[in-house]
Amino acid sequence: VAEGEAIHVVFFPLMAHGHMIPLFDVARLFAARGVKATLITTPANAPVFTKSLANKIDLEVIPFPSEQVGLPAGVENFEYATGTDTLEKFLGALRLLESPVEGVLGRLEPRPRCIVSDLFLPWTADVAGRLGIPRLTFHGSGYFGMAVSDAMRKHRPFAGVEDEDEEFVVPGVPGEVRLTRRKTSPQLKAAEEKQSGIRELLKAAFEAERKSYGVIMNSFNELEPDYAHHYRNVMGIRAWSIGPVSLCNRSIGEKATRGKKAAIDEHECLRWLDSKPPNSVVYICFGSITNMSTPQLRQIALALESSRQNFIWVVRRPAEAEEEEEWLPKGFEDRTRGRGLVILGWAPQVMILDHAATGTFLTHCGWNSTLEGISTGVNMVTWPVFAEQFINERLITDVLRVGVSVGASQYFDRVVEVASVGREAVEEAVRRAMVGAEAEEMRGRAAELKEMAWKAVEEGGSSFEELSHLLQELRSFDAARADEYYL
């Protein structure tokens, strides 16, 4: 590439909002730094990427082979892949994308210099290998989650533990990370027993991670330094921390249009927040794919009612739930009028978290939500549901000490089927995060983390510099020596 000429980088996110949103942010970061960026997706997911204002990203839309694997038309997102059968079909369809993606990469002009693709699209490493270009893995998770999951797989510390609720310490990682079988082993068990597709995928994903050029991490070095060091030097994986990526492109329009169209007018939402004192609102959201049962929603409603705090509550219900079903306690809306806002569907999350009135975030500890909470300096109430969310919880409550746990101990497969956490526990955790000396102390630490996050992405900050180094390497990448980069 001649001096000053833009290199071309192709981005390929996994079709799940928790993966598409941050990788889109990464693509925009690259574009803002002079890279020609192309993003590959499928028809039903394309609107996520085209809504953005001042979009400098080229889209390549490839058909999703739903029909070929026996999925209904339009089922192109992990969100709909609930249940073992659908999930297996969905994973099968992802594998069929290999050849179309290779076709796109082969014909794009100018010739792509690199592909950045999700951890769970491992075959992209083979495609990149054949084309002689580097593949960078994008993780939907941070260093802490990656390090602890790796140690769990290697050391299986839960193996000798009989009691599902007995805490064990995860060996081989810095600090004392405590987990239980109930919070973690179902994931491993599921991977081993029923969901063989998931097991195969995990295996392939981590093998491909090792043979890729390196990893792009949505994190910043100052947030989890011991675990970033562990990942790079003990696990031996090359990684660039370039986050929090949600801090890029922050104008109101951009914030509100991340992911899907919001189910509330964002100006109305802002007016509502403007009318509330600083740090007086609890924001409750369980991410893009977790659904709550009616009994569990009722417990949350009762807790919010008796907490007497202002709240914005984002509610996602299972697709099969009856529209008219009474899921809120009778009179809830009247009794919380003026101090509560329920959003049925998609919320402009970052915009809400960013508002001075929002004081606490009750979160399921998905990595994007975790980082968004950190970048906006709110206290957190942690309520993990599945995957590495129970691990992220330990980072929030024990390592960073900016959150209070509701004490969720049951791993669910994305759908909370029973009322696993009672109203008292929810109310108590919300109160601890909102008022009193403990809340104030947490708020102090949360404010420091927010400042560190913003510093990291500013010119000269650690994430800014890591991206500069990465881009420099990609610019000078010598295709003739590509073999040296692949183990």
* Strands (E) located in 367-476: 379-382, 403-405, 415-416
Extract the tokens encoding 479. Answer: 């295709």
* 35 Cα distance to chain centroid: 24
Of positions 368, 379, 392, 405, contacts ligand UDP by CB under 6 A: 368
Instruction: Give whichever of 133 and 365 is closer to ligand UDP, judged by the CB atom.
Output: 365
Instruction: Give whichever of 31 and 352 is closer to ligand UDP, judged by the CB atom.
Output: 352
Q: How many helices (H) and strands (E) does the chain have?
A: 20, 17
Query: Smallest distance, Å, CB 237 to ligand UDP?
Result: 21
Residue 350 binds to ligand UDP (criterion: CB under 6 A) = yes
Instruction: Give whichever of 15 and 114 is closer to ligand UDP, judged by the CB atom.
Output: 15
Residue 349 binds to ligand UDP (criterion: CB under 6 A) = yes
Query: Smallest distance, Å, CB 18 to ligand UDP?
Result: 2
Residue 376 binds to ligand UDP (criterion: CB under 6 A) = no
Q: Are the beta carbons of 196 and 89 closer than 8 angstroms?
A: no
Q: Which of 354, 309, 333, 392 is nearest to 141 (CA)?
A: 392
Q: Which stretch binds ligand UDP (CB under 6 A): 94-102, 193-201, 202-210, 361-369?
A: 361-369
Query: Smallest distance, Å, CB 168 to ligand UDP?
Result: 25
Number of other residues whose CB lies within 10 A of the CB of residue 320:
7
Q: Which stretch binds ligand UDP (CB under 6 A): 125-133, 343-351, 397-405, 427-435?
A: 343-351
DSSP β-bridge partners for residue 169: 178
Cα–Cα distance between 161 and 233 in angstroms, integer? 30
Q: Which stretch binds ligand UDP (CB under 6 A): 178-186, 233-241, 360-368, 474-482?
A: 360-368
Instruction: Give whichever of 367 and 485 is closer to ligand UDP, judged by the CB atom.
Output: 367
Query: Smallest distance, Å, CB 378 to ligand UDP?
Result: 13
Of positions 90, 220, 227, 346, contacts ligand UDP by CB under 6 A: 346
Prior bond of 244 cis (ω within 30°): yes
Cα–Cα distance between 199 and 151 in angstroms, integer? 17
Number of residues that bind ligand UDP (CB under 6 A): 20
Q: What does the per-residue mask of binding to ligand UDP show for 232-251, with x meaning CB under 6 A?
A: --------------------
DSSP β-bridge partners for residue 138: 118, 216
- Annotated catalytic sites, by residue? 19, 118
Residue 360 binds to ligand UDP (criterion: CB under 6 A) = no
Is the four-CA dihedral 235, 239, 242, 246 of positive or negative sign?
negative
Q: Are the beta carbons of 310 and 339 closer than 8 angstroms?
A: yes
Instruction: Give whichever of 166 and 265 is closer to ligand UDP, judged by the CB atom.
Output: 265
Query: Smallest distance, Å, CB 170 to ligand UDP?
Result: 21
Instruction: Give whichever of 141 and 279 is closer to ligand UDP, judged by the CB atom.
Output: 141
Cα–Cα distance between 382 and 353 in angstroms, integer? 15
DSSP classification of residue 269:
H
Instruction: Give whichever of 55 and 369 is closer to ligand UDP, judged by the CB atom.
Output: 369
Extract the tokens encoding 66. Answer: 């739903």
Alpha helical stretches, state H, 178-292:
181-192, 196-211, 225-229, 252-256, 266-274
Residue 17 binds to ligand UDP (criterion: CB under 6 A) = yes
Binders in 251-310 for ligand UDP, by CB under 6 A = 258-259, 285, 287-290
Number of other residues whose CB lies within 10 A of the CB of residue 301:
23
Cα–Cα distance between 323 and 317 in angstroms, integer? 10
Q: Nearest-5° angle of CA 265, CA 269, CA 270? A: 120
Extract the tokens encoding 309. Answer: 């705090």
Q: In this structure, are strands 178-179 and 168-169 parallel, antiparallel, or unpaired?
A: antiparallel
Number of other residues whose CB lies within 10 A of the CB of residue 106:
12
State which residue has the least CB distance to ligand UDP: 18
Query: Smallest distance, Å, CB 19 to ligand UDP?
Result: 7
Residue 369 binds to ligand UDP (criterion: CB under 6 A) = yes
Residue 93 binds to ligand UDP (criterion: CB under 6 A) = no
Q: Which residue has the tokens 């509610």?
A: 315
Q: Which stretch binds ligand UDP (CB under 6 A): 86-94, 151-159, 367-375, 436-444?
A: 367-375
Of positions 7, 13, 14, 18, contacts ligand UDP by CB under 6 A: 18
Q: Which stretch binds ligand UDP (CB under 6 A): 81-89, 200-208, 362-370, 416-424?
A: 362-370
CA atoms within 13 A on the CB side of 174: 17
Instruction: Give whichever of 7 and 371 is closer to ligand UDP, judged by the CB atom.
Output: 371
Q: Which residues bind ligand UDP (CB under 6 A)?
A: 17-18, 21, 258-259, 285, 287-290, 314, 346-347, 349-350, 366-369, 372
